[in-house]
Amino acid sequence: MEKIYLDHAATSPMHPDVIQTMSDVMTETFGNPSSIHSFGRVAHEKLETAREVIAKSLAVKPHEIIFNSGGTEGDNTAIMETALARQAGGKHLITTKIEHPAVLKTMRYLETLGFEVTFLDVDEQGHLRLDQFDAALRDDTILVSIMYGNNETGNLMPIKEIGERLADHPAYFHTDAVQAYGNQTIRPQELGIDLLSISAHKINGPKGVGFLYKRDGVDLPPLLHGGEQEEKRRAGTENLAGICGLAKAVQLLTPTERAKRAADYQTFTATILTALKENEIEFSVNGDLEQKLPHVLNLRFNGIINDLLLMKLDLKGVAVSTGSACTAGTVDPSHVLEALYGKSSPAIKESLRISFGLGNTQAQIERFSETLVTVIKELKKN
């Protein structure tokens, strides 16, 4: 039985070309990029070439890219160091209730240090109301952190509109773009973004590597102290193989490839929804189908407990999710769905996240749709 992986929002398989690139680097370029001898110079050249590739993908300067261990470190650096470095100008921060835990828990920690955080609500479709943002923005607001696209519903946030509102405001604007980078065209300078976090393993790169975009002019102390790597902005010997793997993954996601994947994912979504409707399965979509990341689909099946549904699908060789991988394995309900519907809504226990990516085919989606319908009918019968 061929297994079907539909949890790419949690992590994605590494592209074979990425694996080959990393293998070559580990075999041939073991020097420390900070060393001044020939081995170090070769490693340093590869490091800077990767930086140029990634900077080009965002249309920013290579100097503005800081390599790190991934999205969590990027989020923590952007939020913690902005708060601590700028608190003389104010101690107010703004975020939303549907952020990744790397943002939410960092914000909660800052509250214990005396900072005030406004957690903005979203409506039942997962949209952030800009009038609520306007009401929350204050003279003493020093940071706004709002994700580019939600990891559970796929909803796209109004990043451009928020950037415009902050154009003449001293607050820094950070976005966790971990789910969006690779399928959206992101231009931080055009959008007014000051800080942006990315993880390689969401775009068919390796785990444990990513980067933080930091606009020139944004003055932040490093989160990690030690050596003088990354121009003294992030201590620790760079993970050269991982960084080169990240750069290769970025190169593979050409505009043509992104457009093809987006079209495929739209077809996959239509296939699943059509199968459910034709078989008269009672369901609803969590989030907004018209304003979301193409690879994420979150569905509610009325009366079906999602943990049981996930287990039944897993036994049939299908991998999906009930929410963020960072909260999987716990009994905590989805904080994203709680924000949409309220903590007492049955939708929280009846929802499933399906996410597409490299290796998925139309034949797989058709078999998944048939399996999903069969399992739901069995559960309804029982």
- Residue 92 tokens, joined: 């107010």
- Taking a C-beta distance cutoff of 8 angstroms, is the pair 256, 109 a contact? no
Q: Report CA 340 to chain centroid distance, whole Å.
A: 19
Q: Sort 224 into a burial class: Cβ within 10 Å, 0-12 / 13-18 / 19+.
A: middle
- Residue 82 tokens, joined: 């902005």
Rounded CA separation 351/304 (Å)? 8
Which residues, 6 or more positions from 145, have their beta carbon under 8 angstroms from its beta carbon? 75, 78, 79, 93, 94, 95, 99, 103, 107, 174, 175, 176
For 218, phi then psi, to 5°, come to -85, 115
Of 359, 342, 7, nearest in space to 152 by CA: 7
Catalytic residues: 326
Sheet holding 172-176, edge to edge: 65-68, 210-214, 195-199, 172-176, 141-145, 92-96, 116-120
Q: Sort 132 into a burial class: Cβ within 10 Å, 0-12 / 13-18 / 19+.
A: middle
Rounded CA separation 211/17 (Å)? 20
Strand, helix or coil for residue 84: helix
**CB atoms near residue 327 (< 10 Å):** 17
